[in-house]
């Protein structure tokens, strides 16, 4: 069930009414929200619901065992074993659904290069939507219980946390300790930040329908499908357009998910903060997919040693973290290459900062011109890395990049004024001051429900009129 569809609009209106009617009876509300979330997730394939059920009961049981072991004197070792079982079980499920065929294909290629064996059978397993997000969410539950930062919740509350439909498919990766406390008491409809919710939902729909989907169909898909057909100029715009597309598409889902949750009375963490205004790669990851980068920091980078074991180990930890982040995104060498680019870039950036600090040099970017150049350099690096993220193969990525040189001498006709305008708009909206957005949210909140309904209806009409026929799936559904 896609957010920008009539089907979801009807679904949400029914859920919204049930949400506030049943909220005073909190236990009944919890059963209702689990049920509608299962309907939402099972809309693609009812078998996916079994994964949610299994994730709920297995991780709840393991979380309880971890907490019991921690309470016993000398139970640290037992708690660690239960935690290890949780990590293995969840990663095994992720590996089975997402990586079995990937490793089978690569093992077959390796054996074939030595003239050994016959082709290995491929299972062609149906990939549940959003399984990577699900695994990262449930791991925060058992890991935080082990760390003593969270107590086990009831199975019913944990079931709501696992299945809550707004973030179910593509995040934000909401941690258990952020969400579960919100289930302890009924939400107050008088405290709903409707102005912010409507701005997020409408802004998300506009980014998805008017910018991301248009750029995808009018230039990006063509450049990556047959790069030899495009000039250097067209290829350059295709690469930049994909940078804008993936930002507008993914941030749109996060914005809509956060807005929908607000209307239901729940706060989800921010996931994007103007990433293309970043002046360093590190700053980019503080702004892009914030819940993923913070998850990687807290549950992978720091446990690996972080920056506590010397400079060399710090650089290695950065590279390993982002290689695994690339593999988390998809079962393909293009994702590993993309993650490796960011890991090496971060390591080099950290090494340069360490060298400057050792020499007593000030931080770069003292002038406005230097800051502009920094932003351009980071955007260029990120855009080149996105080529590998988007391409079907490493060779396909290099074929696109090669056209930047090989396609000189012709301008072509693929770059139209709407494409230029949408690319500029997609980047420009990230420079809109936060105070202007807050004023818009406050203005919407002040006009009451009737006015908000009229604004929402008008905005949806314009988006439906100006946007493409039908909504494409969000890019991050396959992760």
Q: Give catalytic residue positions.
A: 329
Mean pLDDT on 77-99: 88
Question: Does residue 385 form part of some domain?
Answer: yes
Question: Does residue 11 form part of some domain?
Answer: no
Residues 203 and 170 in one domain: no
Radius of gyration for the alpha carbons in the chain, expressed in angstroms and rounded: 24
Residues 359 and 215 in one domain: yes
| The pLDDT value given to residue 88 | 93
> pLDDT of 152-204, one tens digit each?
999 999 999 999 999 988 879 999 999 999 999 999 888 888 888 888 998 99
Residues 398 and 324 in one domain: yes
Mean pLDDT on 457-475: 68
| The pLDDT value given to residue 59 | 95
Judge whether 82 and 69 are in contact, CB under 8 Å: yes
Instruction: Report the distance separating Cα 120 and Cα 104, nearest Å.
Output: 6
Mean pLDDT on 403-431: 90
Q: Token pair for residue 394?
A: 């490493």
Instruction: Report the distance separating Cα 187 and Cα 439, nearest Å.
Output: 25
Residue 392 or residue 464, greater confidence: 392
Whether the pLDDT of residue 116 is over 70: the answer is no
Phi, psi of 23 (to 5 degrees): -55, -40
Question: Does residue 15 form part of some domain?
Answer: no
Question: Does residue 20 form part of some domain?
Answer: no
Residues 245 and 138 in one domain: no
Mean pLDDT on 402-412: 85
Instruction: Report the distance separating Cα 202 and Cα 252, nearest Å.
Output: 9
Contacts of 355 (CB under 8 A, 6+ apart): none
pTM of the predicted structure, to 2 decimals:
0.89
Choosing from 136, 166, 186, the residue where a domain stops is 186
| The pLDDT value given to residue 4 | 73
Lowest mean pLDDT among 249-253, 292-296, 357-361: 357-361
Lowest mean pLDDT among 143-152, 225-234, 328-337: 328-337
Instruction: Report the distance separating Cα 212 and Cα 251, nearest Å.
Output: 10
3-state class (DSSP) for residue 101 = helix
Mean pLDDT on 17-21: 92
CA–CA distances in Å: residue 15 to residues 29, 145, 264: 11, 31, 9
| The pLDDT value given to residue 472 | 67
Question: Does residue 180 form part of some domain?
Answer: yes
Residues 348 and 456 in one domain: yes
Residues 66 and 199 in one domain: no
Which range marks the domain in which residue 169 is found?
Answer: 25-186
Neighbours of 457 (CB within 10 A): 10
Judge whether 82 and 98 are in contact, CB under 8 Å: no
Residues 141 and 202 in one domain: no
Question: Does residue 250 form part of some domain?
Answer: yes
Neighbours of 279 (CB within 10 A): 18
Phi, psi of 342 (to 5 degrees): -70, -40
Instruction: Report the distance separating Cα 205 and Cα 151, nearest Å.
Output: 37
Choosing from 145, 164, 186, the residue where a domain stops is 186
Residues 56 and 122 in one domain: yes
> pLDDT of 260-307, one tens digit each?
999 999 999 999 999 999 999 999 999 999 999 999 999 999 998 888
Instruction: Report the distance separating Cα 269 and Cα 447, nearest Å.
Output: 26
Residue in 121, 128, 266, 280 with CA at minimum distance from that of residue 186: 266
Mean pLDDT of the chain: 87
Whether the pLDDT of residue 470 is over 90: the answer is no
Residues 43 and 118 in one domain: yes
Question: Does residue 226 form part of some domain?
Answer: yes
Residues 461 and 333 in one domain: yes
Q: Token pair for residue 341?
A: 């680019």
Number of domains in the chain: 2
| The pLDDT value given to residue 475 | 73
Phi, psi of 364 (to 5 degrees): -70, 165
Instruction: Report the distance separating Cα 264 and Cα 284, nearest Å.
Output: 31
Q: What is the DSSP letter of 415?
A: -
Whether the pLDDT of residue 125 is over 60: the answer is no
Counting residues of the chain whose pLDDT is more than 70, the rounded percentage is 89
Residues 198 and 126 in one domain: no
Choosing from 162, 186, 210, the residue where a domain stops is 186
Whether the pLDDT of residue 95 is over 70: the answer is yes
Question: Does residue 49 form part of some domain?
Answer: yes
Residues 202 and 289 in one domain: yes
- Helix (H) / strand (E) containing 221: helix 221-225
Lowest mean pLDDT among 125-129, 188-192, 212-216, 245-249: 125-129
């Amino acid at each position: 069930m896609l957010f920008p569809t009539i089907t979801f609009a009807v679904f949400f209106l029914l859920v919204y009414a049930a949400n506030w009617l049943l909220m005073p009876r909190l236990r009944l509300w919890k059963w209702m929200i689990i049920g509608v979330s299962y309907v939402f997730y099972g809309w693609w394939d009812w078998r996916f619901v079994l994964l949610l059920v299994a994730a709920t009961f297995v991780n709840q049981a393991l979380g309880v065992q971890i907490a019991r072991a921690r309470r016993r004197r000398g139970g640290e070792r037992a708690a660690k074993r239960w935690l290890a079982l949780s990590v293995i079980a969840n990663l095994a499920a992720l590996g089975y659904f997402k990586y079995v065929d990937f490793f089978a294909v690569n093992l077959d290629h390796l054996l074939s290069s030595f003239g050994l064996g016959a082709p290995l059978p491929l299972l062609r397993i149906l990939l549940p939507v959003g399984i990577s997000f699900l695994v990262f969410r449930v791991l925060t539950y058992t890991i935080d219980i082990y760390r003593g930062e969270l107590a086990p919740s009831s199975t019913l509350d944990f079931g709501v946390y696992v299945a809550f439909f707004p973030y179910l498919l593509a995040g934000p990766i909401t941690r258990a300790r952020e969400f579960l406390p919100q289930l302890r008491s009924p939400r107050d409809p008088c405290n709903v930040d409707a102005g912010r919710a409507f701005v997020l939902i409408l802004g998300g729909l506009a980014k998805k329908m008017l910018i991301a989907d248009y750029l995808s169909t009018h230039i990006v898909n063509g450049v990556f499908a047959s790069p030899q057909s495009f000039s250097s100029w067209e290829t350059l715009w295709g690469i930049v357009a994909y940078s804008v597309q993936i930002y507008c598409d993914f941030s749109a889902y996060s914005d809509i998910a956060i807005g929908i949750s607000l209307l239901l009375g729940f706060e989800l963490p921010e996931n994007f903060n103007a990433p293309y205004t970043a002046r360093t790669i590190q700053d980019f990851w503080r702004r892009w997919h914030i819940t993923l980068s913070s998850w990687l920091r807290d549950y992978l980078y720091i446990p690996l040693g972080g920056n506590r074991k010397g400079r060399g180990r710090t650089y290695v930890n950065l590279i390993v973290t982002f290689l695994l982040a690339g593999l988390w995104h998809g079962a393909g060498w293009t994702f590993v290459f993309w993650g490796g680019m960011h890991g090496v870039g971060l390591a080099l950036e950290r090494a340069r900062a360490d060298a400057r600090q050792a020499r007593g040099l000030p931080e770069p970017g003292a002038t406005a011109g230097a800051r502009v150049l920094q932003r351009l350099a980071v955007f260029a690096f990120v855009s080149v890395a996105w080529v590998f993220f988007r391409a079907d193969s490493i060779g396909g990525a290099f074929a696109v990049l090669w056209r930047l040189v090989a396609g000189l001498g012709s301008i072509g006709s693929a770059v139209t004024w709407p494409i230029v305008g949408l690319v500029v708009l997609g980047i420009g909206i990230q420079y809109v001051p936060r105070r202007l957005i807050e004023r818009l949210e406050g203005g919407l909140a002040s006009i009451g429900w009737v006015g908000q309904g009229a604004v929402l209806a008008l905005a949806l009409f314009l988006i439906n009129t100006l946007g493409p026929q039908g909504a494409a799936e969000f890019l991050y559904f396959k992760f």
